[in-house]
Amino acid sequence: MKRIQTLAVISTLVSITVIWGCVEKSTELTEAERDRISGFISNDAPSPQHELNISFENKIELLGYDIDTETLRPGQTFEVTWHWHCKRPLEDGWRAFTHFTDAAGADRLNQDNEGDIRQLYPPGRWKAGEYIRDVQRMTLPNDWNSDEATIYVGLWNGPHRLQVTEGPSDGDNRAKAIEIDVASTAPTPEPALPALITKQTDADITIDGELDEDAWSTAVATTRFVNTMNGAVAEPETTAKTLWDDDNLYIAFDVKDDHLRSSFDERDDHLWEQDTVEVMVDPDGDGRNYFELQVSPSGVTFETRYDTQRQPQPFGHVDWNPEIEAAADVRGTVNDDEGDEGYSVELRIPWAAFVDGDAPGETPEAGATWRMNFFVMDARAGDAPQRAAGWSPPRVGDFHTLNRFGRVTFADAAGSIPAPTAVEPGGATPEAAGAGAAVAPTKVQLPARVLKQLNAGRNNRAALMAAEGRDSPGPGEAAPEPPNMRQPRQPAAPAAGE
């Protein structure tokens, strides 16, 4: 039976995100950010579809919610609007959380930071008398295997939870907000990740944004960028290309855009609020120590590095300032009222910039694969909303969806990917045997106990991949090692709210 049962709210959140609260409190919102949230704040009481009467210490009330579906399916994206009322202001650092649990009570999904209110105007900033529309667009995991989902929301600050003083509670200041049926259908298959071949080059590339070197004309282009939520063809029409040599990674974008706007002129300004192209790079594809770079049509850059997904908050290690070169070539004029045609961008990024801890990055070998994604943000004229498109669509409202980054494989100048050198069991490589020498393969019958150990190792790796929610490693991606097989595994940073 389809049902939506209104209930109330939880919190189980990690102390590490209190850092975000402190940092974000001292960060003033830009004019564009204020515009983004202005429509979500009111002094007039709302009329939610589903009423709730949840009070948190008589300071914050959850009045109810709107939802755009009566049942869910695995992989389905849906929207919930929470209606909050601030009766008395909270102290700095208080934030909201959203968690999903299955029918067995297991926590399955954390959406604490989803939505403009969560990111730009958390509860620690709310003023007395304000009514807050907290809109969240979320996706039920494809592998959901329960016939219902319970959604919890609440308020937290480090290890503290604001007490539920009115409304159903579990005795530990957690209360349910929504309980909704999940249709018993097979999960929607995850769309395949795009792949790109990047050629090695010995060309002397001038970073001027013009893309007029012969090397760019032979470089492989991405498919046209698509809608980041559903994968449909999207505007502005954009493609990217990559090249590499022993010292640098080169990235080029071509954007067709009839309205160029970017008023930023300082390094590390919030370029994403207007027109910009963006690249994210996760060299080893493990979701840790990844990099974000943006270039505006005016040639201004933004660079940051993250330890894990969106950590540290709010914008990563913005003090990461690699010695990159970037330039844009504009077909039109930025920030005037006349029509434009678009712009192209060139980036030269030294391999050493992709630092691993304190060590500089190293040149990848031909045949290696890195995880990357490319995006474009496009401000429109007047009050029209900003547009976005990407190479590999995250299909949720977060560009930092690391498992959706595409695969970029390093090839030689001809575009060929070298095959790994074969090593015969118990023998030398063909090269070691001398030119023209025939090397007969040696057949080795391994003992049963050795075969058992090898199979156990392979199964352990598969189990680890499944536990991390990853598919099989692509070319150049190392399979994770079971604990204590070679070296201690680094523990994954806990997700906010866990």
Tell me, what's the pLDDT at 188? 61
Residue 424 lies in a domain: no
Residue 120: which of 215, 187, 28, 14 has the closest Cα? 28
Which pLDDT belongs to residue 80?
95
Task: State the sign of the Cα–Cα–Cα–Cα dihedral 352, 490, 313, 101.
Answer: positive
Whether residue 86 is found in the same domain as residue 210: no
Whether 79 has a pLDDT exceeding 90, the answer reads yes
The per-residue pLDDT for range 262-290, each reduced to its tens digit, is 999 999 999 999 999 999 999 999 999 99
CA distance 64 to 50: 5
CB atoms within 10 A of CB 12: 17
User: Is the pLDDT score of 360 beyond 80?
Assistant: yes
Asked if 177 and 264 sit in the same domain, the reply is: no
On whether both 76 and 167 belong to a single domain, the answer is: yes
- Residues 269, 295: Cα–Cα separation, whole Å: 10
In the chain, the number of structural domains is: 2
Compute the distance between CA of residue 472 and CA of residue 369 in angstroms, rounded to an integer: 13
218 and 166 together in one domain: no
- Give residue 75's pLDDT: 85
296 and 267 both lie in a single domain = yes
Does residue 380 sit in the same domain as residue 274?
A: yes
Looking at the domain assignment, is residue 151 inside a domain? Answer: yes
In a domain, 341, yes or no: yes
Domain-terminating residue out of 386, 411, 436: 411
**CA–CA separation, 210 and 254 (whole Å):** 10
Q: What integer best gives the mean pLDDT of the chain?
A: 81
Q: Which of 33-42, 218-227, 443-452 shows the highest mean pLDDT?
A: 218-227
Residues 208, 168 share a domain: no
Do 254 and 239 touch, CB atoms closer than 8 A? Answer: yes
The 3-state DSSP class for residue 466 equals helix
Distance, first Cα to last Cα, the chain: 31
- The DSSP secondary-structure symbol of 487 reads S
Answer yes or no: do 234 and 106 share one domain: no
**435 falls within a domain:** no
Same domain, 37 and 141: yes
Q: 280-300 in b/e burial notation, b at 16+ Cβ within 10 A?
A: bbbbbbbbbbbbbbbbbbbbb
214 is a domain residue: yes
pLDDT (mean) for 107-126: 90
**452 domain-assigned:** no
State the average pLDDT over residues 356-377. 93
Task: With respect to residue 291, please indicate whether it lies within any of the assigned structural domains.
Answer: yes
Domain final position from 181, 203, 220: 181
In this structure, are 308 and 258 located in the same domain?
A: yes
Look up the domain containing 294 and give its range.
Answer: 195-411
401 and 341 in one domain? yes
Span 294-342, pLDDT tens digits: 999 999 999 999 999 999 988 999 999 999 999 999 999 999 989 999 9
- Rounded CA gap, 362 and 228, in Å? 31
> Which one, of 224, 238, 223, 255, lies nearest residue 341 by Cα?
255
Q: What is the pTM of this model?
A: 0.57
Residue 476 above 60 pLDDT? no
DSSP 198-257: EEE-------SS---SHHHHHSPBPPPPB-TTT--B-SSPEEEEEEE-SSEEEEEEEEE-
Residue 467 reports pLDDT greater than 80: no
Domain check: are 119 and 76 in the same one? yes
Kindly give the residue spans of alpha helices, DSSP state H, lying in 276-389.
none
* pLDDT reading at 138 higher than 70: yes
Cβ atoms of 152 and 10 closer than 8 Å? yes
Pairing of strands 406-411, 387-390: unpaired
Residue range 86-97: mean pLDDT, rounded: 94
> Domain containing 314 — which CATH number?
2.60.40.1190
Look at residue 456 and tell me whether its pLDDT is greater than 80: no
Let me know if residue 303 belongs to a domain: yes
Mean pLDDT computed over 236-244: 98
Cβ burial, residue 268 (10 Å; 0-12/13-18/19+)? middle
Q: Is the pLDDT of residue 23 over 90?
A: no
Alpha-carbon span 216 to 209, nearest angstrom: 11
CATH number at residue 14: 2.60.40.3880
DSSP 8-state class, residue 395: S
- Least reliable range by pLDDT among 152-161, 186-195, 211-220, 379-388: 186-195
Cβ-contact 313, 95 below 8 angstroms: no
Domain boundary among 123, 148, 181: 181
